[in-house]
Structure 1
Amino acid sequence: MGKELDDFRRYLAPPPSRFLTSSSSQPQNPTVAEAEPTRFASRTKSFSVDIFNQRHESFVLWLPRPEAFTPQPPVLVIGMTGGPPPETFNEIGRFPLFHSTDKVGLWVLDPASISPPLEDGVYRYWFEILDTSPENRGMLLVTDPFAFTVDYGVATSVGGVGRDQPASVIKFRNGKLWACDMDGTEPQPPPLPDQATLPSNNHLVIYGLPTSWAKDRDDSHGHGVEVGTFTDVLALFDTATSGSRFASMAAIRDGAILAELGINALELLPADGTKIRDELGGYSTAHYFATDYDMGPASDLSRLVATIHSQGVRLFTDVAMASGHDSYRYIDFANFHLLPTTERDNPDSYQSNTNEQLRDGHGGDLWRYIRSAHSYDPEAGDGNSLVVHPARAFHRCHLARWMDDFGVDGLRLDSVNNIGNYDFVRSYKERAWELYKARYGGSADASKFLVIGEELSMPVSIVQQGIVDALWNEPWQGRLRAVILGESGGGDNFEWTVRKLVNCKLDKLDGTHFTDGTQAVNYITSHDMAGYRKERLYDFLVSNGIRDIGRRAKLAFGLLLTSVGIPMIFAGEEFADQMDRSIDIDKKQTDPVNYSRKNDGSWREDLFAYTANLVKFRTKCPALGEDDTNFFHVDERRGAKIMAWSRGCTGDGRRPVVVVANFSDETTPGSEYVVPNWPDRDKGGWREISQRRDVPAEWVGREPLLAWEAKVYTRYTECV
C-alpha cells in the first residue's frame, strides 16, 4: 500500500502557481503557533454531532458501503507544508485506517498509533481510496469530506474540470486533533447574541451578497474582477476595517456601506467551500464543512458574525443541497450520489412535484436522498445495524456545523424542487429549528429564525405544509418590473398587478397563497440574472429605453420596502450597479459588484441615500411589520396609473403608513393632487419619509406627484 514520495507526486495538481496563495496559507512553524496560547483556547463544549467528536479523537472516514465492497482499507496520507510560496508538501507517511469495532462503516486511526509519533503542529492530509465514481480511476487521493479547513495551495488532481482535491487541514495538539485555520489558529464560535437585539422576521431587510466584486485588474473578459474575503465583507459594516483585497477601493476602505444602508440581515451566497475561483457564486459546493478557500478562514467568518450580531444584524446562509462537487463522488458514489439518466425507475431521479422532469446536477453530482444503509449514524452516534440515509445524515451534520460554529440565524435552501425529496427538506428545516432552540436553552424567540426555500415554479403549498417557513416570491419581481414601465403583468390588469405587488397574499399560486408576510421574500433583482427581465435593474431599464433611471429605481425601492413580504436587496442594486460583462449570461452572478459606483456624486449617490432612508424606516416602523393593506384610491381617470394605499392598523391608535404612487409619464397638473378618503387626515404630525420632511396639516392628502414617483407618509415619527 505504501508508495514512495515520487510516486505520490503523480497525484499532485499542475504547478502550484495555478492555485491561489494568500497570507492565511503561508507555511508556518508549528512551534511558533504554540508560542501564542491565547489564540488557541480549547473548545469547552462537545459538538452536537457525534462524528465531530470522533474527529477530535481520531482520523475518521465514514464509509457506509458494505464492507464486502471495500477490498482495501482507506489510507491516511499525511504530511506538512514548508518552504517559500508556492507551498510544497512533505509527506510523513501513509497509514491504513481500521474499521471501528462498534460503529459500522466508520474507519478510524488513532493519531497515537502513527510512527514516528506526530509532533504538535499543523498537518495536511488526504485519504487514499478506491475510486467508486462512474469513471473508476483506481486508487485516488481525496479530501476529507468532513474537513473544516481545506488548502488548495496543495491539491491532487483526479481529472476533470474543478475536480481537484485540496489537502485537508488539521492541528495535532496535546494528543488530540483540533480544527484549525491554515495558520494553526483554532477558531471559536462568535458570542451568543441577545435575542432582543436581533430583528424579527416581519421587520427584516435582507442583503443578498455574492463576493465577486470589481477591482482594478483585468480578467479574461476584460473587466476588473476579484474574489472578496470575509474581511472585505466586514469592511462593509465596520469603518475601522479597511478590507483585504478591496482595501484600495475608497468606498470600502473609507466607509461602512452596509451599516450606512441600514440592512438588518446579511445573506451570504454559499460561503462553504467551493471549487477554487468559482464563477457560480458559490453554488458548486465541494467542501460543505469548510469555509470557502478564496473567502478566508473560519476565524475571519466568526469575527464577521460577531461584528454584525453586535450591530443587530442577522446572518443567513445559502445552502445548495441538490448537487455537489464533494469527495463522496469517489469515496462512496452509490450511497451518496446518482445519475438520473441511468436510474429512470428511481423516484430519487426526479424533481419534486413531477414524475417527468429529471433532476439537474448543473455540472455536479446529484445527492441521493432515498437510499438507506445499515451504518453508523454520524449525527446521533448510534453504531450497529442502524438504518441511515447517508446523504441526509451528511447534510444534517453540515447544518450543525454552520448553526453551532457560526451562529447562523436563518437559511435559504437553494432549488428545493431539484433536491427531489420534500421529506428530507422538512426534516432539515425541523433540525435547524431544534438547533436554534437549543442555542437559547429552550427560550428561543420563534420570530428570530427562518428557513427560506427557493423554487421559481412557486410551490407555495410547501410553506403551508410546513416543509419550509418561507419562499422566494419570484412573481413579485416580474410584476415590479412591469409596473415601473407602466405595464400590467401576471395576466392581470394594471390595477390588480399593483394590488398583488403590494400585498402578495392576494396572489393565488399552485392552488394556495401566502397567509403571512413573513412567508414571502420579495426582490427586484437576484443572483439569477439569466433570462427575460432578470438582469440588473439598471440594465433592464436601459434595455427598455428608460432615461430617468434614478427616478424609476427610486420607485422600485419605494415599492419593495413598503410592500407586504420580506424585502431582499441584491448587492449593488441599492445604487443601481450595472453589468460590465455581457447581459447574455447563463451562469449565476458572474458579473461582479462594483461598490466604487456608490459614491458617484450624482444620481447613484442620491439613490443610495433614498434607499437607506427607506430601509431604516422599514426595519423600525410597526405598520410595515403588519400585513393588512387598504387600497383607498384608484384614479380611474388616469387608467389606474395613480393609486394610494395604507399599511398597518388604524383602529387601535397605531399609525398607518400611506403610499401614493404615480405610474405614469405625467406629473399631476396644477399645484395639488387631492387623494380622497385619506386615513387620519384630521390628525397632525404627518411626515413624508422619502424626502424626510414634515407635511403641513393643510397639505395632507393634497400634495402633487411627479411622474414615476411614490411618496411615503406616516405619523409614526420615532424612527425617522
Structure 2
Amino acid sequence: MYPIDILNQRHERFVLWVPRSSTSPVQPPLLVIGTTPGISGPFTEIGRFPLAPPDDKLGLWTLDPASISPPLQDGVYRYWFEIQDTSPETRGPLLVADPFAFTVDYSIAPPTGGDDARYQPASVIKFRDGKLRPCDLDGTEPQPAAPPDPATLPSNNHLVIYELPTSWAKVGADARGNDVDVGTFTDVLALFDPATDGRRFSSIAAVRDEAILTELGINALELLPAADAKAKGEWGYATAHYFATDYDLGSASDLRRLVDRIHSQGVRLFTDVVMAFGHDPYSYIDFDSFHLRPPLEPHNPDSYQSHAGGQMRDGYGGNSWRYVHSAASYDPETGDNNPSLHPAWSFHRCHLARWMADFAVGGLRLDSVNNVANYDFLRSYKDRAWELYHSRHGGAATSDPSKFLVIAEELSTPTSMIHSGVVNALWNEPFQARLRAAILGEAVHPDNLEWTVRKLASPILDTALEAPGFTTGTQAINYITSHDIEGFRKERLFNYLTRNNVWDVARRARLAFALLLTSVGIPMIFAGEEFADEMDRSVDMGLKQSDPVNYARRDDGGWRRDLFKYVARLVKCRTRCPALGEDETEFFHVDRSRGGRVMAWRRGAVGEGKWPVVVVVNLGGEDTPGEEYVVPNWPEREKSGWREVSQGREVPDEWVSREPLMAWEAKVYTRWREEV
C-alpha cells in the first residue's frame, strides 16, 4: 500500500487519469493488451477494451480486469492506452504508455499507431490471483528496499556525494579507441561489491575485481536520473516514464539490490529528478492540463524562467510542465475530488512517493529549478518529501532531520530559496569557479587571491549572494566538476588543466581535492574525477551526458591510482573527522612576502575535546625555500599527536608548523584519530 490513492487503485484495476475529461467530452480511452513469449518477442494482442469514468471520480477512467474477455490468466502482460492525441500537432489516435507504469518495455513496437517521434513503449503488468501487480520484464515482483537504520547513515554535515551518470566507456575499437556504452544498476553494484562482476562492464578489472566506491569511501551515491528516459542506448535527462526505472539501466529489482547493498555500507541514495520538462505520455493524453509550449503562450507567466531576466523556459526537446494551471479533478494522492487541483503538482508528488517508498531514497537533487520556475510547487514537493521521510521513521518527533536533504540546482545560486523554505540546499556554482582559478594561482573578480581562497574555504563569507547567503555548510554543495561539462572552464579537471598548459596534472588534482574536501559545505565528486578521467567524446563540450566515465583508466598509469588513494584518504577524513563537519573557519596565516600565495587556516573549533584541522596551501609555482617553512600562530602547536592526512603520516612534534611546501601543494593536518 502507498500513501497515494491512484497507486493503490492500480492494484485493483487499470486506471488512466485525464483531468480535462472532468469538464469536457473525451472519447473513451481503450486498453490495448496482449502477451509476448517470454521476456521479449512478437506481441499477440488479446483485445481492445474501453475504460469508463466512475461516477464519483472526476477525470478518472477505469477498467476492471475481470471484465476482460477472454479472461486474463495469471501471467505477465504488455499494454497501452489508445487515446486521441492532444498535443499541439494533433494527429488522431495514438497508443501511449501508462503514465504511472512501474516498468516499460521498449523491445515491443505498438501494434498500430505511432511514428518514431511519438513512439511509446509497452507498459508491463502482472495479473495474479485476481490482482494487478507491478513486476519486472521477467515477471519478478520486486520488493521494496528495507528502510535503513538512520543510526547507520551519515549526517548531512559529513556527506561526500558521488555524482554518477551511468554512461561509461570501455576500451574498444571505435575512432577514439573507446566503445561507449551505458552502465546498469548491476554495474553500479559492482562498484560497491567485489563479488559482483557487473553486467556490461564485467570486462573491466577495476569493476569486476574491486569495490572501487567502497574503497574511495564516499557515503552518498547520487544516481543521475534513474527514472526511464525517452532516449534509448544512452543516459540522459529526457525523463519520459517517471514511475519506471530506466529501461537501459535495469529493473526495479536490480535497483533494490543496489540500494540494499549501499545501505549495508552506510551509504545514502540520492536521486536526480527532472521536473522542468518531460517526454511523458501526458504530452499526448492531456497536453493542456500538464504541459505548455512557452513560445505559444507569451503572456502566460508560466512560460518564463525564474532568475533569468525574462528568458522563456526551455523544454530541451520535451515539453515544459504546466504548473500555474488548476482544474476540478480527481486528486490522485488523496482519492477525493478537488475543485482547484494542480495536475502537474499532483503527478510529481505521486512519483516522489513511489521512489521514497520502494527505494528508501535518502536525498533528492532537483534539476534546473530556474527552468521549473514555480517556487510554490517546489516548496510543496520538498515538504512532501520530508513528510514521507518522517513517516518512514515513525514521524517528525522521532526521525533524524540530519539524514535527509533536498538539493536544488540553480546556477545563479539564489540562496533566498533556502531561507524561504523552497529547498534545503543549493549547488554552489561559485565554488567551482573559485577553485579552478585558485589551482592556477588566479583570483576571481572582484576579489584578490586571498579572498578568492577565503570564500572557497568558507562559502558563508560569500557576500555577493542574495542576503543572507549560505549560513551553514549543509546548505552549499561544492564541486570541482559536475555533469554540466559544457561551457567555459566546466570540462573535466584533466582537460581543464592541460588546456591551461598544466602538465603535472596529478599535483594540481591533489591540490583541488584537498581544497574541496576541507572546505565548509557538502563536497560532491563527479564520477571519474577521483582518478583524473579524461573526456573522450565531448572534446567540444557540446553535451553533458556524452562524456562517459572510463573506469578502466583508473589503472592507466601509476599516478592515477596514487591520486585515487590520496583522494580516498581525504574522503575518509571528511566523512568522519568532527572538525570538518563544523562551520568554524579561521585564517591565521597569509604570507605577504610570497605574494599572499602561501596561506593557512583552521577548520573546526578549538578547546577541550576538540581536534581542529589545519590546512596549509602553496598556490604558487615555487617551493618554499630551505628545509623548513614556519607557519606562525598554529593552533594547539604545543600538543602532541599531529599527523598529515593526505599522505597518511605522523608528524614529529618538532616539525609541527615547520614543514616545507612544494609548489602547488596542500597539506592537511589534525590530531584527530578515529579511536579518539
Please classify the TM superposition score into its range, dividing by the shorter chain length. over 0.9
SS of equivalent residue, structure 1 residue 66: helix
Q: Specify the code of the residue in structure 2 equivalent to 1:466.
A: G
Partner of 1:591: 547
For 2:582 and 2:675, locate their aligned partners in 1 and report how far apart those are by CA, in whole Å. Answer: 17
For 1:221 and 1:553, locate their aligned partners in 2 and report how far apart those are by CA, in whole Å. Answer: 25
- In the TM superposition, residue 602 of structure 1 has moved relative to its aligned partner by 1.2
Partner of 1:14: none
- Residues 1:691 and 2:644 aligned together: no
Partner of 2:561: 605
Conservation of the 8 A alpha-carbon contact between 1:687 and 1:717: no
SS of equivalent residue, structure 1 residue 288: strand
For 2:172 and 2:622, locate their aligned partners in 1 and report how far apart those are by CA, in whole Å. Answer: 44
For 1:201 and 1:674, locate their aligned partners in 2 and report how far apart those are by CA, in whole Å. Answer: 36
The residue correspondences of 1:627-642 to structure 2 (distance < 5 A) are: 627-642=583-598
Q: Specify the code of the residue in structure 2 equivalent to 1:296.
A: G
- In the TM superposition, residue 162 of structure 1 has moved relative to its aligned partner by 5.4
Conservation of the 8 A alpha-carbon contact between 1:526 and 1:570: yes
- Residues 1:437 and 2:390 aligned together: yes
- In the TM superposition, residue 491 of structure 1 has moved relative to its aligned partner by 2.0
Pick from 698, 705, 709 the counterpart of residue 661 of structure 2: 705
Partner of 1:30: none
Q: Specify the code of the residue in structure 2 equivalent to 1:138.
A: G
Conservation of the 8 A alpha-carbon contact between 1:623 and 1:655: yes
Deviations 1:681-719 (A, max 9, x none): 000000111111111111000000011110000000226
- Residues 1:479 and 2:430 aligned together: no
Partner of 1:457: 412
Given the superposition, is the C-alpha separation of residues 202 and 96 from structure 1 closer, same or farther in structure 2, using an over 3 Å criterion? same
Normalization by structure 1: what TM-score?
Answer: 0.91
SS of equivalent residue, structure 2 residue 108: strand
Pick from 457, 476, 486 the counterpart of residue 530 of structure 1: 486
Q: Specify the code of the residue in structure 1 equivalent to 2:610.
A: R
Pick from 475, 478, 500 the counterpart of residue 455 of structure 2: 500
For 2:9 and 2:518, locate their aligned partners in 1 and report how far apart those are by CA, in whole Å. Answer: 50
For 2:420 and 2:432, locate their aligned partners in 1 and report how far apart those are by CA, in whole Å. Answer: 24
Size of the aligned set, in residue pairs, is 672
Conservation of the 8 A alpha-carbon contact between 1:271 and 1:282: no
Conservation of the 8 A alpha-carbon contact between 1:218 and 1:225: no
- Residues 1:105 and 2:56 aligned together: no
- In the TM superposition, residue 652 of structure 1 has moved relative to its aligned partner by 3.4
- Residues 1:379 and 2:311 aligned together: no
For 1:67 and 1:445, locate their aligned partners in 2 and report how far apart those are by CA, in whole Å. Answer: 42
Pick from 386, 396, 402 the counterpart of residue 355 of structure 2: 402
Q: Specify the code of the residue in structure 1 equivalent to 2:200.
A: R
For 2:675 and 2:238, locate their aligned partners in 1 and report how far apart those are by CA, in whole Å. Answer: 41
For 1:602 and 1:286, locate their aligned partners in 2 and report how far apart those are by CA, in whole Å. Answer: 42
Partner of 1:36: none
Deviations 1:390-432 (A, max 9, x none): 0000000010010011100000000111101000000000000
Pick from 488, 499, 513 the counterpart of residue 469 of structure 2: 513
For 2:674 and 2:98, locate their aligned partners in 1 and report how far apart those are by CA, in whole Å. Answer: 53
Partner of 1:625: 581
Partner of 2:293: 339
- In the TM superposition, residue 591 of structure 1 has moved relative to its aligned partner by 1.1
For 1:388 and 1:217, locate their aligned partners in 2 and report how far apart those are by CA, in whole Å. Answer: 52
Conservation of the 8 A alpha-carbon contact between 2:75 and 2:126: yes
Structure 1 residue runs of 5 or longer lacking an equivalent are: 1-45
For 1:529 and 1:329, locate their aligned partners in 2 and report how far apart those are by CA, in whole Å. Answer: 29
Conservation of the 8 A alpha-carbon contact between 2:291 and 2:322: yes
Conservation of the 8 A alpha-carbon contact between 1:377 and 1:386: no
For 2:325 and 2:174, locate their aligned partners in 1 and report how far apart those are by CA, in whole Å. Answer: 43
Conservation of the 8 A alpha-carbon contact between 2:93 and 2:113: no
Given the superposition, is the C-alpha separation of residues 160 and 476 from structure 1 closer, same or farther in structure 2, using an over 3 Å criterion? farther
The residue correspondences of 1:1-12 to structure 2 (distance < 5 A) are: none
- Residues 1:138 and 2:92 aligned together: yes
- In the TM superposition, residue 608 of structure 1 has moved relative to its aligned partner by 0.1
Deviations 1:318-362 (A, max 9, x none): 000000000001000000000111111111111124561111111
Conservation of the 8 A alpha-carbon contact between 1:214 and 1:594: yes
Conservation of the 8 A alpha-carbon contact between 1:119 and 1:172: yes
Partner of 1:574: 530
Q: Specify the code of the residue in structure 2 equivalent to 1:632.
A: F
Normalization by structure 2: what TM-score?
Answer: 0.97
Partner of 2:37: 82
- In the TM superposition, residue 191 of structure 1 has moved relative to its aligned partner by 1.3
- Residues 1:556 and 2:512 aligned together: yes
Partner of 1:7: none
- In the TM superposition, residue 510 of structure 1 has moved relative to its aligned partner by 2.8
- Residues 1:93 and 2:84 aligned together: no
- Residues 1:226 and 2:185 aligned together: no
Deviations 1:114-143 (A, max 9, x none): 011000000000000000001101000000
Partner of 2:275: 321
Given the superposition, is the C-alpha separation of residues 718 and 222 from structure 1 closer, same or farther in structure 2, using an over 3 Å criterion? closer
- Residues 1:643 and 2:643 aligned together: no
The residue correspondences of 1:177-256 to structure 2 (distance < 5 A) are: 177-217=132-172, 223-256=178-211
Q: Specify the code of the residue in structure 1 equivalent to 2:341.
A: V
- In the TM superposition, residue 465 of structure 1 has moved relative to its aligned partner by 1.0
- Residues 1:311 and 2:265 aligned together: yes
Pick from 249, 271, 291 the counterpart of residue 295 of structure 1: 249
Q: Specify the code of the residue in structure 2 equivalent to 1:54.
A: Q
For 1:240 and 1:249, locate their aligned partners in 2 and report how far apart those are by CA, in whole Å. Answer: 14
Pick from 395, 412, 418 the counterpart of residue 371 of structure 2: 418
SS of equivalent residue, structure 1 residue 56: coil
The residue correspondences of 1:34-113 to structure 2 (distance < 5 A) are: 46-67=1-22, 69-82=24-37, 87-113=41-67
Worse-superposed segment, 283-292 or 60-69: 60-69
The residue correspondences of 1:337-376 to structure 2 (distance < 5 A) are: 337-353=291-307, 356-376=310-330
Deviations 1:358-401 (A, max 9, x none): 11111110000111111100011113x53211000000001001
For 2:336 and 2:163, locate their aligned partners in 1 and report how far apart those are by CA, in whole Å. Answer: 38
Worse-superposed segment, 306-315 or 579-588: 579-588
Given the superposition, is the C-alpha separation of residues 219 and 413 from structure 1 closer, same or farther in structure 2, using an over 3 Å criterion? farther
Q: Specify the code of the residue in structure 1 equivalent to 2:366.
A: L
Q: Report the identity percentage.
A: 68
Q: Specify the code of the residue in structure 2 equivalent to 1:167.
A: A
Partner of 2:215: 260
- In the TM superposition, residue 152 of structure 1 has moved relative to its aligned partner by 0.3
Partner of 2:503: 547
Deviations 1:293-319 (A, max 9, x none): 000000010110000001000000000
Conservation of the 8 A alpha-carbon contact between 2:176 and 2:536: no
SS of equivalent residue, structure 1 residue 65: helix
- In the TM superposition, residue 547 of structure 1 has moved relative to its aligned partner by 1.1
Worse-superposed segment, 136-145 or 508-517: 508-517
Partner of 1:470: 425
Structure 2 residue runs of 5 or longer lacking an equivalent are: none
Partner of 1:18: none
- Residues 1:120 and 2:74 aligned together: yes
For 2:333 and 2:136, locate their aligned partners in 1 and report how far apart those are by CA, in whole Å. Answer: 24
SS of equivalent residue, structure 1 residue 124: strand
- In the TM superposition, residue 223 of structure 1 has moved relative to its aligned partner by 3.1
Given the superposition, is the C-alpha separation of residues 60 and 221 from structure 1 closer, same or farther in structure 2, using an over 3 Å criterion? farther
SS of equivalent residue, structure 2 residue 320: strand
- Aligned-residue RMSD, C-alpha: 1.5
